[in-house]
Amino acid sequence: MKEKIIIKKLKEDRRNEIYTNRGINPIFQLNPKSKILIIGQAPGEKVEETGILFNDKSGENLVKWLGNQKTSSIVKTFL
């Protein structure tokens, strides 16, 4: 599925109204070569403001759980 179609479907889903009504676009990153999929439940304010995945406390926890140094490298590697 193309990224634009995914964004459109996410915006149209009524479960995302709380975000789309506030002008917050879906925040995600795709990599067809990934071997795992990491999904966050709902973005916090910092992620909403920056549009950067796991750019908050959840990202710090993710780094610890995966034993990595930087959230950005996790996002680039796994997402």
Whole-structure pTM value: 0.59
Closest CA to 49 of 29, 19, 74: 19
Is the separation of the CB atoms in 60 and 68 below 8 Å? no
Taking the CA atoms of the chain, what radius of gyration do you get in angstroms?
Answer: 13
Distance CA 40, CA 44 (A): 10
In this prediction, residue 76 carries a pLDDT of: 52
pLDDT, tens digit, 9 for 90 and up, residues 26-63: 888 877 787 777 877 777 888 888 888 888 888 888 88
Confidence of residue 73 (pLDDT cuts 50, 70, 90): low
Is the separation of the CB atoms in 78 and 34 below 8 Å? yes
Confidence of residue 78 (pLDDT cuts 50, 70, 90): very low
